[in-house]
Amino acid sequence: MNDTSNNPKYHDFAEGIFISHIRPDEVIQSNASHQNGVADLASEFARDFGMEDFGRIMGLLHDKGKEQIEWQRYIRSVNGYGNDSAQINSGPHHAYVGACIACKQYQSISPFIAQPIAGHHRGLYDHCDFIEATKKGIPHEITIDEAIPCAMPSISNLKHYDYHHLVRMLFSCLVDADSLDTERFMLTEQANLRGNHSTLEVLLEKLEVHLRHLRVIAEDNNVNRIRDYVQELCITESKEEKGFYSLTVPTGGGKTLASVLWALHHAVKNGLKRIIIAIPYTSIIAQTAATLKHIFGEDNVLEHHSNVNPESIINEQLRERLQLATENWDYPIIVTTNVQLFESLFSNKRSDCRKLHNIVKSVIILDEVQTLPLGFLKPIVHSLDTLQRVFGTSILFTTASQPILCGRILGANPWASFDALPSVHEIIPAEAQLHDKLRRVELHFMDGARSYHEIAEELSQYSKVLCIVNTRRDAKEIYDLLPKEGICLHLSRMMCPAHVSATIQKIKEALQAQIDRPIRVIATQLIEAGVDIDFPVVFRQEAGLDSILQAAGRCNREGKQKLGTTYVFSLGKEHPLPVGHITQTNNARINMGRQMDWFAPDSMTKYFKQLHSRVNNFDDKQIQDLLYKPECEFEEAAHQFHLIDDQSIPVIVTWNESSSLYKQLISYGPSYHLMKKLAQFSVNVRERDFNLLKSIGAIDEPFDGIYAISDHGFYKADTGLSLENQWLEETFII
Q: Which residues pair with 364 in a beta bridge?
A: 276, 395
The confidence score (pLDDT) of residue 84 equals 56
pLDDT tens digits, 123-152: 999 999 999 999 988 998 898 988 888 877
Gap between the Cα atoms of 101 and 145, Å rounded: 10
Q: What is the dihedral of CA 191, 193, 198, 199, to 10 degrees?
A: 0
Under 8 Å between Cβ of 649 and 708: no
pLDDT tens digits, 573-606: 888 888 888 999 999 999 998 877 899 889 999 9
Looking only at the bridges linking them, the beta strands covering 564-570 and 441-449 are: parallel
The confidence score (pLDDT) of residue 56 equals 96
pLDDT tens digits, 623-654: 999 999 999 999 999 999 999 876 789 999 99
Q: Is 205 helix (H, G, I), strand (E, B) or coil?
A: helix
pLDDT tens digits, 174-218: 999 999 999 999 888 888 878 888 999 999 999 999 999 999 998
Model confidence at 417: pLDDT above 60:
yes
* pTM reported for the whole predicted model: 0.89
If you average pLDDT over residues 670-674, what whole number do you get?
A: 79
Under 8 Å between Cβ of 117 and 59: no
Model confidence at 6: pLDDT above 70:
no
If you average pLDDT over residues 524-531, what whole number do you get?
A: 81
Neighbour-count burial for 702-734, b at 16+ CB within 10 Å, e otherwise? eeeebbbbbbeebbbeebbbebebeebeeeeee
- Domains in the chain and their CATH numbers? 13-191 (no CATH), 200-408+422-431 (3.40.50.300), 440-598 (3.40.50.300), 649-733 (no CATH)
